[in-house]
Structure 1
Amino acid sequence: MTKIEYLENHLDLTFSPMDYMNYVKEQDGACVLVDVRNAPPHLKKEKIQGAIEIPLHELRDRIDELPKDKVIVVYCWDTWCNMGKKASLLLLQEGYDVKELLGGIAAWNIMKLPVEAL
């Protein structure tokens, strides 16, 4: 794989928060946002507005809750967290169209984008 192919693949598999917001405006209803964070309730106080919660450790058992005709956008905690990548890999292996939200909920919060309490 060349450096250009690597970057093309990375861009194809990810959304920045602003890319996501623009995509949702242009393609209303075309994606499902999924919070894949594993954490006890006292640590997960909020989620991105409109996201459904399917923790990574439950994803394989709950995969049928996700539509195959929409882009599945997954997110986790931050850039250091790899749950989004693990979820993406599982979903891609099962035939889903997937993108990872870069920076997770931390980047979302820094940009002051909409969240909802859990």
Structure 2
Amino acid sequence: MNALDYFNARLEATISPMDYLRAEQTAPEQYFLIDVRNGPNHVRSLTIKGANIIPQQELAKRLHEIPKDKEIVVYCWDVWCNTAAKVATFLLERGYKVRELTGGIAAWREMNFPVTDTSSDIVQIDSCGC
């Protein structure tokens, strides 16, 4: 693969926070944004506004919730996280059109784009129940 092929493939497989925000504002019916981060609810309480929360570990059993007629945009924590890439591969293998949001929620927050804080919805448990 030469450099041009690499960059074209990268642009086809990803979308920047700025480009997603503009595209979603222009044609919201075309996109389905998914927060695929794993981990306890309290560490995932801040999400991109309008995102559907389907952690990677629940994806296979919740596949029916993801529309095939929309472009799926997945995100995870940051540039160092590959969970969104794993989810994108899983969905692409099943016929979905998918792109990864570059930089994850960290890049989104860095740009001060709209988020939702669900921490008030989280019930605190005194014990882990282990």
What TM-score bracket applies, with the shorter chain setting the length? over 0.9
- In the TM superposition, what is the alpha-carbon distance from 1:60 to its structure 2 partner? 1.4
Q: 1:54 and 1:28 mapped to 2: Cα distance?
A: 19
SS at match of 2:99: strand
Aligned to 1:31: 31
Q: 1:95 and 1:107 mapped to 2: Cα distance?
A: 28
Aligned to 1:68: 68
SS at match of 1:90: helix
Can you give the 5+ residue segments of structure 2 that lack an aligned partner in the other structure? 119-130
Amino acid at match of 2:73: V
Amino acid at match of 1:76: C
Q: Deviation above 3 Å: which 4+ runs of structure 1?
A: none
CA displacement, residues 39-86 of structure 1 (integer Å, 9 cap, x when unaligned): 102211210000010000111111111010000000000000000100
CA RMSD of aligned residues (A): 0.9
- In the TM superposition, what is the alpha-carbon distance from 1:31 to its structure 2 partner? 0.4
Higher mean C-alpha deviation, range 11-20 or range 21-30? 21-30
TM-score by length of 2: 0.88
Can you give the 5+ residue segments of structure 1 that lack an aligned partner in the other structure? none
Which is higher, the Rg of structure 1 or of structure 2? 2
Aligned to 1:78: 78
Aligned residues: 118
Q: 1:92 and 1:57 mapped to 2: Cα distance?
A: 17
Amino acid at match of 1:50: G
CA displacement, residues 9-38 of structure 1 (integer Å, 9 cap, x when unaligned): 110011100010111122231000000000
